[in-house]
Structure 1
């Protein structure tokens, strides 16, 4: 009997341990994603000095905001003199609502994985040096309200898929090198496309 009770207690402890894994795994996944981003950035003003991947989760890092469940909901790195590139791992920030990277010197392409950020409300990449096309996958951001990517070097067409986002309030794509016909957005959306000489209105 005592042996059976001991075995039962052991099994309960193992179950409790297993149930605790998903939270830690999620926290580590988000920390790993942000640390991967840090590894691709030049940070002359050391605004990312607190981004330590040895911590359990990134909620104690400066410029990172978490909700009550310790999930990352904001990354605020605007006006930080950062250069480097975006990384696909940013798409692992499942609870992210605000990605604020405006007015830096970030170059390279926009990862299609940003389309995985189902809770994203604001994507601010304006005033950088981003190149390549606007990913079609951004059309999956059904909670997006603000899409601001003006003053970059983006090329190609504006994805029609963006017009299917019912929550959109503002789309700013001015001063890029975009081409093709401007898709028709809802009348409730404030749109800005000036400074793209090859766009067809």
Structure 2
């Protein structure tokens, strides 16, 4: 019976090794926040190697430079302002459900703002200013019920300022100056106290809305 027992132990040991080999990659690559951030890295050009520590082989991204996590190892900050990055934002960023600060200002990011950023219900600050972002301001950003700072100035944005943004009661700072926006400047809700100079240098943007009168948005595209 001894050879049989030895053979059985050997088989069990081999099975354990095989299971561990196939289990580790699932744990490593199973972090959705790490996957989302690595999707962003793949779409960015990084000549100064500021993203060098963004290693997808780690269990979570909390050890990466420019990333901050909470006590539960959930990503709360992405700090990549003034980092000489170019490329595009990715819809996967909408999976960072605990993110509070998305700081990507003063780079050369192009393309559009993903509508999926409207899923970031914990977001306090969205700073995309001084890039080369085009397209519209997604109305989905109106779902960011915790948003306080929205700075999109000095880009190539077009279209209207979404009226959905005026319903964010926490919003204190809005700057969309130096784009190519059109229509009229909202003055209701959270926009009531936003200075007019935060809308300047938009050649097609009309003055503040007049209560009870038709706006000039009908021909805005």
> What's the TM-score once normalised by structure 2's chain length?
0.78
* Structure 2: runs of 5 or more not aligned: 1-26, 208-221
Partner of 1:138: 141
Whether contact under 8 Å (1:169, 1:190) holds in the other structure is no
Displaced runs of 4+ in structure 1, greater than 2 A? 24-27, 185-191
- Match of 1:36, SS state, is helix
Partner of 1:116: 119
- Match of 1:129, SS state, is coil
Whether contact under 8 Å (1:27, 1:71) holds in the other structure is no
| Structure 2 CA distance for partners of 1:150 and 1:27, relative to 1, 3 Å | farther
Whether contact under 8 Å (1:27, 1:70) holds in the other structure is no
* Structure 1: runs of 5 or more not aligned: 1-23
Q: How far did 1:183 drift? A: 1.5
Query: For each residue in 1:121-160, what CA deviation from the matched residue of structure 2 results, as whole angstroms up to 9, or x when unmatched?
Result: 0000000000000000000000000000000000000000
Partner of 2:205: 199
- Match of 2:133, SS state, is strand
Equivalent residues in 2 for 1:30-41 (5 A)?
30-41=33-44
Q: How many residues are aligned here? A: 178
Which structure: larger Rg?
2
